[in-house]
Structure 1
Amino acid sequence: MTKSTHFEGLPSRDQILAFIQSSNDPAGKREIAREFGLRGHEKIALKALLKDMTDEGLIDMAPGRAFHKMGGVPKVTVLKIVAIDGNQPVAIPEHWEAEGIPAPKIRVIETKGKRNSALGIGDRILARTEERGNGWAAHVMKKLAKGSEQILGVVEGGENGRFWLKSVDKKSRFDTQIGDVGDAKAGELVLAELTGNAHKKSARVTQVLGDPFAPKSFSLIAIHKFGIPFEMPETVEREAERVRELPVTDDHREDLRHLPIIAIDPRDARDFDDAIWATPNADTGGFDAIVAIADVSYYVRPGSALDHEASKRGNSVYFPDLVVPMLPHALSSDKCSLRAGEDRAVLACHLAIGKTGQVTSWRFTRAVARIAANIPYPDAQAAIDGTMENPLLETALKPLWACWRLLAKARDKRGPLELNLPEKRITLDEQGRV
């Protein structure tokens, strides 16, 4: 549903869009207010209207806090050269966040007195853009330092001191000559940086990874073959470091730190997303229970750099020997991981379970919890079976198992399909072999 933020004297959405598209200069809130003669409370209302338009997907914000039409290109932005059409470079925006809309191909116009033909694939430019006909054109303002284009491959050759890089990507039909082989030797798997222009490219080895058939190399090859984003942008890392300092205890959060809430996970779990607690309810003959999950939304706000990066990745990717997280480690392995003895922001679901095992009511709260323990599944079961001691046996584990038995009894009455299938696991030895 479209929001209706509007005040007398405030321009309409169509008027703002028309101004943003027609302005020769970047149009931020100040420029829009000046164009429509807004003052005082009208500027405050304009800020709310621009936020509504951003939330509705009508406009987006470019670096420098200037706006542009969603699916359009900022007036001044950083472009990356992706092709050479004849003598004319073709570029795309370096950062493109419009979901479902492909990045536009932008013709880079040669500026009189300058030789833009020297631009090569992979070059980065600061450019002023404009719509021309059904497409876009860009005028170079400044050539920027070239971003590192990395390629994973195997070093070949060595005769006459010449080496070639054979990409692990089967789609790559050509080998690249290595200009700087460093300490790499023929047959080794390396990470290299591509340099040069479209007509003559060379590679510079930046990291030697060793034997391409070593078990540890398979994860890296898969990462590069399928284009899994492996490096986290610095802006995202900085934002994660900043938001991790947000306080989790305030008047708006329910305090659950007095409850022995525990997280039960596989022994090799790399992060802890959820935790549970239950206690008998003498009045109903059932149980009161809580399921708490890490409140990631407290740290990752809509429209933030973290939000855009997480949306681009979609999920974390787990390999036997490493994980490529959706969020920086400052969040995924720390603040958004429910580790024992540390205060954590959580979303808590409070469940009332009747004496027949039916969930009779529920409510959701934002809360702060301090996990009593991270317990592996086998250890939790061993404590219940009496073969292992655990200080939380009476206060946490036994009530949880009793609650589970009640729920399981109700579940059995419903006659659900039960599949008891073995879980497939990949286990590595100290050398990384399966």
Structure 2
Amino acid sequence: MSKRPGRRGKASKLPSKADIRKFVEESPTRVGRREIARAFNITGADRVALKKLLVDMREAGELGPRPARRGGAEEKGGLPSVTVLEVTGQDIDGELLAVPLRWRRRVPPPQIVIAGDARQTGQPVGVGDRVLARLSPAEDGYLATVMRRLSITDGARKILGVYQRVGRDGRVQPVEKGREEIAVAHEDAQGARSGELVLVTLESSGRGGGLRRGKVIDKLGSVADARAVSLIAIYEHGIPVEFSEAALEAAQSARPPELGARTDLREFPFVTIDPADARDHDDAVWAEADQNPDNPGGWVVYVAIADVACFVKPGSVLDREAHKRGNSTYFPDRVVPMLPEALSGGLCSLHEGEDRACMAVRMVFDAAGNKLRHKFIRSLIRSRASLTYAQVQAAEDGAPDAVTAPLYETVIAPLYGAYRALAKARDARHPLALDLPERRIQLDEDGHVASIAVARRLDAHQLIEEFMIAANVCAAEELERHHVPCMYRVHEEPALEKLESLREFLKSMGYELARGQLLTPEIFNRILAKAAETEHAHVINQVILRAQSQAHYSPENHGHFGLALPRYAHFTSPIRRYADILVHRGLIRACKFGDDGLPAAQDMAALKETGEQISAHERRSMAAERDSADRYLAAYLSDRVGAEFEGVISGVTRFGLFVSLDETGADGLVPIASLGDDYYDHDEALHALVGRRTGKFYHLGDAVTVRLLEAVPVTGGLRFELLSVEATSRPQPVRQSPRGKQRVRAGKPKTKLPPRKSKKKARKR
């Protein structure tokens, strides 16, 4: 990494245009006049001259906005069309610049310019604000049209950090990686103590290049508290936690619906099958062999889903609260529910032995698992048992317990019989078959990490998964048949840019992704099957996953690529997903089940905007859950600094290597400066760093041994030292510097290079 120009005392002249262009082009992030002035030590009146020089260069076409850097497959394909942004500053023309909120990718964020009319709206936007914006591609990044500014309660202008007393005053270290400390005067600390989590608002920028100043507005308890990890994620990502008094009262006063016009299914032996630590129970299942002689070997499957729509009416206070959240958010120590506990854990949850309102679907399958017909039923059910995946699997494997033994012949065995039929249809469909084991963080009684376990994938999990997928398909088909708007779950095929990057990498590993063929999940599955049981298996699964588009919600159907389905909707989890409530309302309207369905005058434009918003909320929750896991892992490893670990290179960037540890799955950075006295080229096609002088070669997927140098629980950051590399088999790199290679280095340069951003900034993930 190149160093900044040395401080030379008072600048006597401006840098040349060539120096400025080189600095802008080499910078890992977008820069403006302030960054250029700081890099070349331009002060006082010379800054005015610099501004004029930059304007002249822009008008002459000598200084366009810096194009977004091309990196690995992870960044190609762009951002979602609607996302949450944080306004971070201005460029030399005064245009507002933004970055995706909580950028966590291993490359610098793309350039995003806020549309110029944002300040003239009813909600003027400024630096530090967070906005929900619609993005449109521009020549050098994105143009963002602000849909709405997020309120103070959504987290705008607030920064979460850890307070430390420094003399009479204090400082706050933000929990977000890469942010600088904030100075807090004694009178603005609100009595905060060292080690307390605090929320601060920025009062001013740093004076004379010093720290920014802030004011403590809330104290959230000690950072050492076990529950602080999820609390940090909740506040950092602006996830709504508290329900309004009106919403709590509405949930508390709700009463179970009577049978009325519902179909009575309480005599059917439904069971719920969930993880042992499940907080809510959305779905119950039952199956039997089809008695119709025209369908030999066929099955009848019932899937009953909590009828949340009967409690959450369109436009009600509960509806507004659910819409604001979009979904529940799950942490190892707590759940932030979409609905108040009286509903999510009470009236809507399908508890054993309790009468519950449901939206059920009866599906008939032939012996090969092909669906012959289906019918939706608004009903009442009574669950016979609340079972776990492990219980059900043990019963199928011949080791039933006291609960499952009497249920096996009449309930569990038919479920597996139906599952085996549906599995045949799934295999014939060839959905994407990634093999990426899920690690679960297990806490002790005090809320600290006890262990990191790889979750076992049982047939019982796949059984429920296949039944839910089938029910979701039925919901989409039913709404289409009745011409009722449907909130589809859309997963489009990979973008061409991602495919090209993936194709180049696979070729470097000896696998071929041919051009000119109709892209299907089966094509990826052939590559995955070829890589299975080889040293490449994990990395091939990872890069194929990274090449996929992100699933989202939309009233426009574009199919579900990963599941190899022409239409798909989410119907089976309305307790924790707002999209499912919308689908339930559509079914109520389509099947004429009542007057609490989707309004007949439902505006498609409004439905599209809702889809964009709940997609953004889903990404927000995923980021919060991921950051929480990072912090738990850093805390778990913090007392093992100095220990050695086996791992694999999981990411390659121009500023270093990311390594995933075999033992825990934790990710950390090996900074490029620690790799030795050599220059390194970042070969994007091979996902590798290549030493120019020594020929050292660090490649995505290489097995490595590292030493843990630093673990920072408050940010979730890990820093490693590379000890050894066991290279995987692959073609040798081409030694010349073709177009697309980024030259980077470790160690002292032989020639002076243009200045860059600081290492601290470069490490931001």
Find the counterpart in structure 1 of residue 407 from structure 2: 392
1:417: how far off? 5.0
- Structural mapping, 1:62-141, within 5 Å: 105=122
Find the counterpart in structure 1 of residue 343 from structure 2: 331
Find the counterpart in structure 1 of residue 222 from structure 2: 209
The answer to whether 1:260 aligns with 2:269 is yes
Find the counterpart in structure 2 of residue 231 from structure 1: 242
Find the counterpart in structure 2 of residue 403 from structure 1: 418
Find the counterpart in structure 1 of residue 361 from structure 2: 349
- Pick the aligned partner of 2:311 from 296, 299, 303: 299
Q: For residues 414 and 193 of structure 1, do their structure 2 counterparts lie closer, same or farther at Cα, with a shift above 3 Å needed?
A: closer
Find the counterpart in structure 2 of residue 23 from structure 1: none
SS of equivalent to 1:157: strand
- Pick the aligned partner of 2:440 from 425, 429, 433: 425
| Identity value in percent | 40
TM-score, normalization by structure 1: 0.57
Find the counterpart in structure 1 of residue 719 from structure 2: none
Q: Which runs of 5+ in 1 are unaligned?
A: 1-101, 108-148
- Pick the aligned partner of 1:189 from 180, 183, 196: 196
Between the aligned partners of 1:203 and 1:251, the Cα distance in structure 2 is 55
Between the aligned partners of 1:236 and 1:264, the Cα distance in structure 2 is 30
Contact 2:226–2:448 at 8 Å: present in 1 too? Answer: yes
Between the aligned partners of 1:340 and 1:179, the Cα distance in structure 2 is 56
Q: Give a deviation string over 1:213-256, Cα, whole Å, max 9, x none.
A: x65322211221111112222222222222xx323222121111
Q: For residues 415 and 313 of structure 1, do their structure 2 counterparts lie closer, same or farther at Cα, with a shift above 3 Å needed?
A: closer
Between the aligned partners of 1:227 and 1:315, the Cα distance in structure 2 is 13
Write the letter of the residue equivalent to 2:300.
Answer: D
The answer to whether 1:279 aligns with 2:257 is no
Between the aligned partners of 2:430 and 2:172, the Cα distance in structure 1 is 59
Between the aligned partners of 1:403 and 1:204, the Cα distance in structure 2 is 57
SS of equivalent to 1:337: coil
Q: For residues 217 and 247 of structure 1, do their structure 2 counterparts lie closer, same or farther at Cα, with a shift above 3 Å needed?
A: closer
1:419: how far off? 3.8
Between the aligned partners of 1:272 and 1:248, the Cα distance in structure 2 is 18
The answer to whether 1:157 aligns with 2:165 is yes
Between the aligned partners of 1:363 and 1:229, the Cα distance in structure 2 is 37
SS of equivalent to 1:427: strand
1:416: how far off? 5.2
Contact 1:287–1:403 at 8 Å: present in 2 too? Answer: yes
- Range with greater deviation from structure 2 (165-174 or 302-311): 165-174
Contact 2:163–2:198 at 8 Å: present in 1 too? Answer: no
Between the aligned partners of 2:256 and 2:287, the Cα distance in structure 1 is 27
- Pick the aligned partner of 2:252 from 214, 224, 241: 241
Q: Give a deviation string over 1:63-112, Cα, whole Å, max 9, x none.
A: xxxxxxxxxxxxxxxxxxxxxxxxxxxxxxxxxxxxxxx996379xxxxx
Q: Give a deviation string over 1:256-291, Cα, whole Å, max 9, x none.
A: 111110111122222211111011222233222211
Q: Which runs of 5+ in 2 are unaligned?
A: 1-117, 125-156, 204-212, 450-632, 634-765
SS of equivalent to 1:190: strand
Write the letter of the residue equivalent to 1:423.
Answer: E
The answer to whether 1:374 aligns with 2:389 is no
Find the counterpart in structure 2 of residue 19 from structure 1: none
Higher percent of residues as helix: 2
1:332: how far off? 1.7
1:377: how far off? 0.8
- Range with greater deviation from structure 2 (245-254 or 255-264): 245-254
Between the aligned partners of 2:332 and 2:311, the Cα distance in structure 1 is 28
Q: For residues 175 and 385 of structure 1, do their structure 2 counterparts lie closer, same or farther at Cα, with a shift above 3 Å needed?
A: same
Between the aligned partners of 2:237 and 2:123, the Cα distance in structure 1 is 26
Find the counterpart in structure 2 of residue 360 from structure 1: 372
SS of equivalent to 2:351: coil
Q: Give a deviation string over 1:360-403, Cα, whole Å, max 9, x none.
A: 11111111111111211111010111112312112210111111
TM-score, normalization by structure 2: 0.34
Write the letter of the residue equivalent to 1:229.
Answer: P
SS of equivalent to 1:426: strand
Q: For residues 335 and 163 of structure 1, do their structure 2 counterparts lie closer, same or farther at Cα, with a shift above 3 Å needed?
A: same
Q: For residues 209 and 231 of structure 1, do their structure 2 counterparts lie closer, same or farther at Cα, with a shift above 3 Å needed?
A: farther
Q: For residues 178 and 168 of structure 1, do their structure 2 counterparts lie closer, same or farther at Cα, with a shift above 3 Å needed?
A: farther
Contact 1:178–1:202 at 8 Å: present in 2 too? Answer: no
Q: For residues 234 and 152 of structure 1, do their structure 2 counterparts lie closer, same or farther at Cα, with a shift above 3 Å needed?
A: farther
The answer to whether 1:269 aligns with 2:278 is yes
Q: For residues 380 and 364 of structure 1, do their structure 2 counterparts lie closer, same or farther at Cα, with a shift above 3 Å needed?
A: same
Write the letter of the residue equivalent to 1:105.
Answer: G
Q: For residues 381 and 106 of structure 1, do their structure 2 counterparts lie closer, same or farther at Cα, with a shift above 3 Å needed?
A: closer
Q: For residues 260 and 203 of structure 1, do their structure 2 counterparts lie closer, same or farther at Cα, with a shift above 3 Å needed?
A: same
Between the aligned partners of 1:192 and 1:420, the Cα distance in structure 2 is 41
Q: Give a deviation string over 1:397-432, Cα, whole Å, max 9, x none.
A: 011111112222344455555444422322333442
- Structural mapping, 1:26-65, within 5 Å: none
What is the aligned length? 289
Write the letter of the residue equivalent to 2:122.
Answer: K
**Larger RCO: Structure 1 or Structure 2 (Cα < 8 Å, ≥ 6 residues apart)?**
2
SS of equivalent to 2:358: strand
1:357: how far off? 2.9
Between the aligned partners of 2:191 and 2:383, the Cα distance in structure 1 is 48
Query: Over the residues paired in the alignment, what is the CA RMSD in angstroms?
Result: 3.7
SS of equivalent to 2:255: coil
Contact 1:181–1:205 at 8 Å: present in 2 too? Answer: no
